[in-house]
Structure 1
Amino acid sequence: MTTFMVIGLVGLGLLLVSLVVGDLFDGALDALGGDAFSSAVVGAFVAATGFGAAAVQGAVGTALAIPVGLVTGSAFAWFAWWLTRLLSDGSSDSTPTTDDTIGRDGRVITQIPADGLGVVDILVGGHTMRLNARAEHPIEPGTPVHVTSVLSPTSVTVAPVWPEIA
């Protein structure tokens, strides 16, 4: 049991170092398949293998504790790989652009005159974008609007949102 506990603690140590320092195997194991052999995955595998085997060794003996530990380690390694991939593939890193506002709803901040520009706030990916806006007809402040096109990197064309019919 002591051997399996030491294996589990080594795995936890590897996970802790990976959390603080970053991926220890960055670039070293790229030929083996991307994130499948990151330090987080290897640490999860080693820790779960050691602790899983230690948990069942008293009940089933060492001969069966090793396969149980390996299955437990594989399950935790897969979960660490999945979680790492999920976090690294997040698309929230990009800065929203004016093109991202097309089809979004917003609210008029300053009046949009018939022949000029007003100001609207549009929410895109959790970011409020304040843009100049042009419309076919005058629109009063506070009116909900819908972005129909982009005029420039700082201005859009909007139309009032039609009220829902009950």
Structure 2
Amino acid sequence: MATGTLIFLIIGGVGVVVLTLALLGAELLHFAHPDADGPVPLEVAAGFTGALGFGAAIANELIGGGSPGSIALAAGIGVLAAVPTAWLAAKLSRAARDMRTDPTPTRSDLVGSLGVVVTPIPANGYGEVRVRVAGQPVKLNARADRPIPTGTQVFVVDAPSDTSVHVETY
């Protein structure tokens, strides 16, 4: 293996390490001022570096680069591979960051939901009900005006807290 190829492989490996850290959430460029965004997203820099290194290493081996001119040609081919890779990384990371999501459910979303009693509700105490909120089953503490046995269908009429509800039979 030529020395130029080894250097390009090391550059590509650095790109992979930086990409791994970026995907794991490490903000390498934010150590001086945590609220400042760098001029280039970390994913883009990692994609560019990795594609440059690996693309140039492949080109250097195919060319048989031993002279400075052929190493420069391999580096140019690596840049030709790195630019579209960085552009694609920018588009994909921007799409992931700007993706619309549903709002986080709140306790007001509990009111009006249907559920079932999973632990009997006594007259002056708490039992448990299972309701669906945003399509997900949630088990909550429940009070009622009168005792309700296990397995009874209930309707949530109030949510005094995020983890407790007031229910009536359905």
TM-score (norm 2): 0.58
**1:150 equivalent in alignment to 2:158:** yes
Higher Cα Rg, which structure: 2
Who is 1:68 aligned against? 81
How is 1:17-166 mapped onto 2 (pairs within 5 angstroms)?
17-18=21-22, 22-26=26-30, 27=33, 30=36, 32=38, 37=41, 39-55=42-58, 58=62, 62=74, 63-83=76-96, 85=97, 98-108=107-117, 109-111=119-121, 119=127, 120-124=129-133, 128-134=138-144, 139-147=148-156, 149-150=157-158, 152-153=160-161, 154-160=164-170
Tell me the matched-pair count: 148
Distance 1:23 1:64 in 2: 30
Gaps in structure 1 of 5+ consecutive residues:
161-166
1:103–1:9 CA distance, 2 compared to 1 (3 A): same
Aligned CA-pair RMSD: 4.1
**1:7 equivalent in alignment to 2:7:** no
- Sequence identity of aligned pairs in percent? 23
Distance 1:112 1:32 in 2: 58
Runs of 4 or more consecutive aligned structure 1 residues displaced over 6 Å after TM superposition:
89-92
Distance 1:52 1:134 in 2: 68
Amino acid at match of 1:30: A
Q: Contact 2:29–2:38 (CA<8 Å) still a contact in 1?
A: no
